[in-house]
């Protein structure tokens, strides 16, 4: 058997010589995330994506991509200037990333030492945990109570002098719960030694943002994705905004080519077509009301969501419901293994027709599995 290390001693030193490659301890200990993406040739109400399409103007831009264009390395800086201006920010306050996933990863890489603490509330987006644990074992989780609301008082009390990074998604995934601007700014003030990253991936379905505080609050970072309302999940593009000093460090640990040129070509067009994004958000907001009304009629409890999904309390038949819905051609996401979410299943809200199909399949599936509260 090959042992990973052997001890070599000479007169003055005892040192370990590695006889096989091992990763950092944090990498060995960190959790893995394998989203269940196989076999999604159905109505995708499982991953909170846009269920329909990006702006037709983006599709038009895609058709103009040339062979020569594909041979070039992507140029991020010009598009960053356009995106910054669109959001009323300076170019050095913005970094484009390979989705918010990469923004989280880069923030952890830029700011965390092994001894630092990261503070999150659970349940939340699992990538916070994956990226934080990549750097440090000191991930502090504040669990919501049965209400699933953000546990503001206990969260504030959990800040310590060792807290170096706080990540809060508002609206949160998988609950759809939100945190007020006042509470988020209080967190920034209570932890001046920490980066406070507010993940606004679902901003368009809620409408409140901390963008106006970017640059004014020195330790605030705000992340936005183009995977949801803009319908560009497959292009992998997100945006991180913050004061220029913080962004400078995150940029330093990013590859200059982290965002592909196709995504960079499409972003200005997607941003300019505001009408389309408002239309899509309006579809979702109307659909969410219809879904929540439908759930009340069916007797299914749920968390009142501010995002493009609703977390339903199904109970012991959660897996049966997901399987039954699949036979109706509709994918849902079982969230039962999330902390505090036993028996919960999440349904994405899309355009009108998709909500109608989702609701109809839900009604039939609940009947088929003999569901009762
Ligand atoms: C809260 C939250 N942040 C970020 C993401 C991922 O965003 P992106 O596709 O930009 O990596 C998700 C995806 O589900 C999410 O729920």
Q: pLDDT tier at 3 (50, 70, 90 boundaries)?
A: very low
Q: What is the pLDDT of residues 4-35, one digit of tens each?
A: 455 555 555 556 787 899 999 999 999 998 88
Is 90 exceeded by the pLDDT of residue 41? no
All structural domains of the chain? 43-49+275-368 (3.90.1150.10), 60-273 (3.40.640.10)
Collapsing DSSP states into helix, strand and coil, what is residue 347? Answer: strand
Which of 51, 101, 172, 226 most suits a substitution to test ligand 1, by most atoms within 8 Å of the C-beta? Answer: 101
Is 50 exceeded by the pLDDT of residue 182? yes
Ramachandran region, residue 207 (left: φ > 0; alpha: ψ -120 to 50; beta: rest):
left
Which of 33, 95, 122, 125 most suits a substitution to test ligand 1, by most atoms within 8 Å of the C-beta? Answer: 125
CA nearest neighbour of 103 among 309, 218, 269, 259: 259
Supply the pLDDT for residue 2: 43
Supply the pLDDT for residue 7: 54
Distance (Å) from CA 177 to ligand 1 centroid: 15
Which of 100, 121, 348 most suits a substitution to test ligand 1, by most atoms within 8 Å of the C-beta? Answer: 100
Distance (Å) from CA 52 to ligand 1 centroid: 18
Distance (Å) from CA 101 to ligand 1 centroid: 6
Instruction: Kindly state the average pLDDT of the residues 168-178.
Output: 98
HSE-up (13 A, CA, CB side) for residue 104: 25
CA distance 45 to 353: 12
Supply the pLDDT for residue 15: 66
Distance (Å) from CA 74 to ligand 1 centroid: 23
Is 70 exceeded by the pLDDT of residue 286? yes
Average pLDDT, rounded, for the chain: 95
Is 80 exceeded by the pLDDT of residue 145? yes
CA nearest neighbour of 345 among 360, 330, 357, 356: 330
CA distance 97 to 223: 10
Q: Are 255 and 113 in contact (CB under 8 A)?
A: no
As for ligand 1, residues whose beta carbon falls within 6 Å of it are 48, 99-101, 125, 169, 173, 199, 201, 225, 227, 233, 238
40: number of Cβ within 10 Å: 12
Distance (Å) from CA 343 to ligand 1 centroid: 23
Six-digit token string for 222: 């705000």
Please name the helix (run of DSSP H) or strand (run of DSSP E) that holds residue 236, with its range, or none: none
Is 50 exceeded by the pLDDT of residue 225? yes
Angle at Cα 338 formed by Cα 334 and Cα 341, nearest 5°? 75
Distance (Å) from CA 171 to ligand 1 centroid: 11
Is 60 exceeded by the pLDDT of residue 340? yes
If you ran DSSP here, which 8-state letter would residue 217 be given? B
CA distance 351 to 364: 20
């Amino acid at each position: 058997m090959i042992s990973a290390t052997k001890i070599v001693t000479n007169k003055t030193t005892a040192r370990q010589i590695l006889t096989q490659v091992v990763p950092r301890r944090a990498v060995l200990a960190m959790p893995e995330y394998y989203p269940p993406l196989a076999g999604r040739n159905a109505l995708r109400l499982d991953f909170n994506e846009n269920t329909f399409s990006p702006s037709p103007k983006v599709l038009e831009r895609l058709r103009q991509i040339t062979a020569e264009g594909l041979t070039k390395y992507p140029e991020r800086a010009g598009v960053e200037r356009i995106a910054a201006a669109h959001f009323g920010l300076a170019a050095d306050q913005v970094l484009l990333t390979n989705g918010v996933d990469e923004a989280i990863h880069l923030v952890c890489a830029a700011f965390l030492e092994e001894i630092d603490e990261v503070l999150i509330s659970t349940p939340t987006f699992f990538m916070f945990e994956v990226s934080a644990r990549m750097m440090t074992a000191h991930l502090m989780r504040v669990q919501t109570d049965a209400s699933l609301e953000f546990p503001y008082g206990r969260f504030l009390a959990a800040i310590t002098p060792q807290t170096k990074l706080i990540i809060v998604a508002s609206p949160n995934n998988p609950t759809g719960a939100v945190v007020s601007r006042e509470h988020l700014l209080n967190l920034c003030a209570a932890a001046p030694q920490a980066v406070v990253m507010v993940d606004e991936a679902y901003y368009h379905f809620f409408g409140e943002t901390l963008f106006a505080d970017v640059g004014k609050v020195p330790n605030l970072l705000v992340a936005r994705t183009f995977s949801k309302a803009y319908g560009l999940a497959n292009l992998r593009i997100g945006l991180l905004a913050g004061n220029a000093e913080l962004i400078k460090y995150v940029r330093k640990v990013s590859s200059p080519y982290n965002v592909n040129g196709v995504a960079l070509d499409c972003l200005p067009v997607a941003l300019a077509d505001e009408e389309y994004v408002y239309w899509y958000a309006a579809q979702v907001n109307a659909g969410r009301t219809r879904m929540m009304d439908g759930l009340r009629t069916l007797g299914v409890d749920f968390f009142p969501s501010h995002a493009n999904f609703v977390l339903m309390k199904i109970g012991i038949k959660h897996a049966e419901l997901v399987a039954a819905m699949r036979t109706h051609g509709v994918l849902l996401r079982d969230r039962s293994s999330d902390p505090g979410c036993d028996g919960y299943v999440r349904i994405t809200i899309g355009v009108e027709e998709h909500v109608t199909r989702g609701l109809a399949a839900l009604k039939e599936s609940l009947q088929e599995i003999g569901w009762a509260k």
